[in-house]
Amino acid sequence: MAQQASFDVTTGVDLQEVDNAVNQAQKEISQRYDFKGSPATIELNRTEGKISLTAENDYKMQALWDVLQSKLIKRSVPVKNLEPGEIKPAGGDTVRRDIALKMALDGDTAKKVAAAIKEAKLKKVQAAIQGDQVRVTSPSRDDLQEAITLLRSKDFGVELKFGNYR
């Protein structure tokens, strides 16, 4: 019987890089003229996987969001894995926005990934959802490479990572 080759499809962000980007953004905000005397803050909650932005008004909130995004992009953090929430009024004439970090594939995205592989009808390539990842198996490594190429060409709303290739 032929040996099965496989790889795992996952997603996530490097929390250390996010932390570094948040620190850089905080430093830039403290030095920018348009934020002088402003209660603008960026806070990372590692345990909840959430970034909280606080600013005086919607204009400064947009500027804060742009600064954070640029720092995340420079640190190679996939911006697709950020899920910005609504801008809500907070206490003391400020507005607040929470940004959730997508740390794992949710059920719907995993189903879409598995369905995309099945729809492509690649020879003997099978996809199985295992918790927060999708395991793709095939006897041929070339078919697995085709599956990776196929998945990279589609947009699932998150940055896909391919690991555990064997």
Whether residue 2 is predicted with pLDDT greater than 80 in this model: the reply is no
Q: What is the fold of 15-101?
A: Alpha-Beta Plaits (3.30.70)
CATH number of the domain located at residue range(s) 5-12+105-163 in this protein: 3.30.70.860
More confident residue, 73 or 34: 73
55 by Cβ neighbours in 10 Å (0-12 / 13-18 / 19+) ranks as buried
**Domains of the chain: which residue ranges?**
5-12+105-163, 15-101
Q: Cα–Cα distance between 25 and 4 in angstroms, integer? A: 46
Q: Cα–Cα distance between 7 and 122 in angstroms, integer? A: 15
Specify the pTM: 0.82
